[in-house]
Amino acid sequence: SEPAQDLHEFGEQHVTKGLSRITKGIMTKGDGSWVTYDDGRKMLDFTCGIAVTNLGHSHPKVSKAAADQCMQLVHSQCSIAMHEPYLRLIEKLLPAMPHPSLDSFFFWNSGSEAVEAAIKMARQVTGKQNIISMQGAYHGRTFGAMALTKSKTIYSAGTHPLMPGVFSIPFPYWHQQNQPVNTPLSTLTEDALYQLELLLAQQTSAAETAAIIVEPVLGEGGYVPAPPEFLQGLRKICDKNKILLIIDEIQSGFCRTGTWFAIEESGVRPDILIMAKGLGNGFPISGVVSRRELTDKLKPGSMGGTYAGNAVSCAAAVAVANSMRDEKILENVQARSTELFSALNGLKYDPALNPHILDVRGRGLMVGLEFASPAATAHRFSAHAASDLPDAPPPPPHSTHSAQKGVKHPKGMAARVARKCIDKGMLILTTSVYEVIRFIPPLNVTKEEMKKGTEIFAESVREVVK
């Protein structure tokens, strides 16, 4: 094969400039929580390829299931013939559904496609057109999904006009509401639900609104868990107005937040649930789940796609579901989550760093740390003399966001910290507009790896703050 150096130059010339990259070089191997580059660099992976390789890279059982399926049947095309892994996967997923009514499945390849399918379905079964999504939402890059995405302009820049019939309401998050300092979450929730009622009265009537789509933990938009009361409020308004509630668990699902699906905490019943990413641990597969009573209204032939529900991806996903259970992944998420929150809160309550850290929040192993400029947190810092700061941070292993308002962000700080982490051997990502670092390690990350990751992060923050 060609020398690696030539390949780098080849890539520079022939890979579209529309892609950005946070590391140089070519990734050659993935093994558990670690990846290797062609120059021999080994990196601790706290990105999981954006919350995908939840069981670590090249999980032996998942890879073997895919390899075995490759020798049996790679592709049948689901409109030509059903294959066994498709049906076995449904069998595995049924008991994990957050509500027993969710019993009718359709598999796609990517998250965006599943979002498109959910919108199509919502329009078809309700006979209504409009869709409401959240400010800060991310639902994908295809045209319909892009119209629902409201977390960063670059995702749709230069491509307008987008799909019409999309409206938005605030997600209960103080940055989006311009609320006074220390506004309680309950007030933000009430306000967001009030904005929804207003929207239905002023802009898109219930008779024209097919669905509301929401991430139970806002992902690309800042790693902000939705207060359960907000999700419950959405459910009530949807019921009252015969609007479908679409829950996008593409990033938060599949044990990531400490339960099979993040929506479980709220007890809310989704009308349509969307999953992808962790479902295949790297094999492209996504799923749209609803109840038979709704999907029975779809006309045969109205759904489909050449690769939708590919046999190899389905076989891999069956192995993922088995391994999640056999390896007691939820228990590990719990233990490592507590360690992660404790380490990050340790930084937040360190007097030298406290003014720079606005918030530590998340669920399970989907955790964000938001930076602030010291001016923004000055009121907080002066209100608590350094000696008042607790020695041991309060342990909120599953906190919702709790910071005080401090809208001034130190521009580029999250990216600078991420850069340092990468230089020190750890892959880590930021989120969209706010200065947030997101922690999405593998769900089977070990205690030692978590310790190493949080140490690299702490060192990096200290160096940037200095």
- Which residues lie near ligand PMP (CB under 6 A)? 50, 110-112, 115, 138-140, 215, 219-220, 248, 250-251, 276
Of the pair 215, 370, the CB lying nearest ligand PMP is at: 215
Per-residue tokens: 462 = 């200290």
Per-residue tokens: 104 = 């009718």
Spatial distance between the Cα atoms of 335 and 354, rounded to a whole number of angstroms: 25
Spatial distance between the Cα atoms of 146 and 165, rounded to a whole number of angstroms: 13
Min dist CB 162 to ligand PMP, Å, is 16
Min dist CB 115 to ligand PMP, Å, is 6
Of the pair 44, 137, the CB lying nearest ligand PMP is at: 137
Place of tokens 């294959």: 83
Q: Check residue 71 and report its DSSP letter.
A: H
Spatial distance between the Cα atoms of 281 and 62, rounded to a whole number of angstroms: 8
Min dist CB 215 to ligand PMP, Å, is 5
Residue 235 phi, psi dihedral angles, 5° rounding: -60, -45
Of the pair 110, 345, the CB lying nearest ligand PMP is at: 110
Integer CA distances (angstroms), 264 to 67, 190, 258, in order: 33, 21, 10
Sign of CA dihedral 64, 70, 75, 78: negative
Question: What one-letter code names the amino acid at 289?
Answer: V
Residue in the shown chain whose Cβ atom is closest to ligand PMP? 111
Of the pair 139, 398, the CB lying nearest ligand PMP is at: 139
Q: Check residue 250 and report its DSSP letter.
A: T
Min dist CB 267 to ligand PMP, Å, is 21
Min dist CB 246 to ligand PMP, Å, is 11
Min dist CB 39 to ligand PMP, Å, is 28
Of the pair 305, 346, the CB lying nearest ligand PMP is at: 305
Of the pair 280, 393, the CB lying nearest ligand PMP is at: 280
Spatial distance between the Cα atoms of 102 and 387, rounded to a whole number of angstroms: 52
Helix (H) or strand (E) holding 387: none
